[in-house]
Amino acid sequence: MRSFEDRVLLFLLAVITLALGWILLPFYGALLWGVVGAIVFAPLHRRVSQLMNGRDGGAAAIVVLLVILIVILPLSLIGTALAQQAAGVYGQVQGGQLDVTQYFQKMLDALPAWIVDLLNRSGLGSFAGLKDRLSALLLRGSQVIAGQALNIGQGTFEFFVSLFLMLYLLFFLLRDEETLSRRIADAIPLRDEQRDALLSKFIIVIRATVKGNLVVALAQGALGGLIFWFLGITAPLLWAVVMAFMSLLPAVGAGIVWFPVALYLLATGSIWRGVILMAYGALVIGLVDNLLRPILVGQDTKMPDYVVLLSTLGGIEVFGLNGFIIGPVIAAMFIAIWDMFTTVRSENRAVADVASSE
């Protein structure tokens, strides 16, 4: 009878958990970033709480205020300026002032004849046809990006609701950190060492993704936007945001943006601008990742680059922008749980071998 009651309890637990998840699904982004913010800013909250003689509520309020001042307000200002630049680019594309095909034609005209012949002999077919297809693809992509930036205002109400929920959740998660951590740990049906290792891995990956990947992406985007502005390249803030997004992807990085632009400048006669951008990209933007990431992330969180790349791309494809955190976390949990499983199997085999030998 006890077994039947336990099954009913597990069934009710699963049903009510799925029901709650279904209810909260429209706000999963706000909930995700509330949890991420609590994990990232928990050490700061503990320090502030110590300075305030253990007043966790007041410390949580101060940390939330700091998040608003140093994170949300700057991002809001950048978002407003980005929307303005995207609107300008969108207008130029629609009005024909920004002709991507013309840029490719200039590149094609500047290339030596032997390179064009080599491309044609490589099985790429007509380079002019390839140029037209790439031009059409870039044109559609630029229109989509600019159009989405123009439509940001349509979701203003939903954005502020999600922002309020995120900050509201962040406050309570910081204030009740110890109680919630203890209850979550008690509810996980694993061995103590497995549970502690899994929770530790989860927290480490979250902090590494935000502190490492996000900070490095912001730094590379800012440096790239600065050199684009200095060289007089159109819409430097828009390009800075694109470089920041590309920096989230290992083996791709911001170079996928600045390197073709540098080649275009060299091919079209802007030699010094091209040389400056090439040198700056390699020596400044390219070195940021190697200098900052080991400091911010550390060595114990390192996953293979191909795992990070695939999980980040897959996460963004499935979950949108939130996927750059969700993807690597799922990959890290996958690796950690399989490591635990293989460890348990090895222990069971060792016990079975000892029993059989006796």
* Three-state SS letters, 133-201: HHHHHHHHHHHHHHHHHHCHHHHHHHHHHHHHHHHHHHHHHHHCHHHHHHHHHHHCCCCHHHHHHHHHH
The Cα 42–Cα 186 span in angstroms is 20
Q: What is the mean pLDDT of each run of 10 residues along the chain (358 residues)?
A: 77 90 88 89 89 87 91 78 67 59 58 60 50 53 51 61 89 89 82 81 80 80 89 82 77 77 78 88 81 62 72 82 83 84 79 68
Residue whose entry in the numeric block shows the structure tokens 């005209």: 109
In angstroms, the CA 198 to CA 214 distance is 23
pLDDT of the residue at 66: 92
Max CA distance (Å), the chain: 85
Q: Residue 281, Cβ neighbours under 10 Å: how many?
A: 23
Torsions phi, psi for 128 (to 5 deg): -65, -40
Please return the burial class of 227, using the count of CB atoms within 10 Å of its CB with bins 0-12, 13-18 and 19+: buried
d(CA 293, CA 288): 8
Using N-to-C axis directions, what is the helix angle for 286-297 and 215-230, rounded to 10°?
160
Listed in sequence order, the residues at least 6 apart from 256 whose beta carbon sits closer than 8 Å to its beta carbon are 246
| pTM, rounded to two decimals | 0.69
Among 105, 130, 135, 119, CA closest to 267: 105
Predicted pLDDT of residue 62: 93
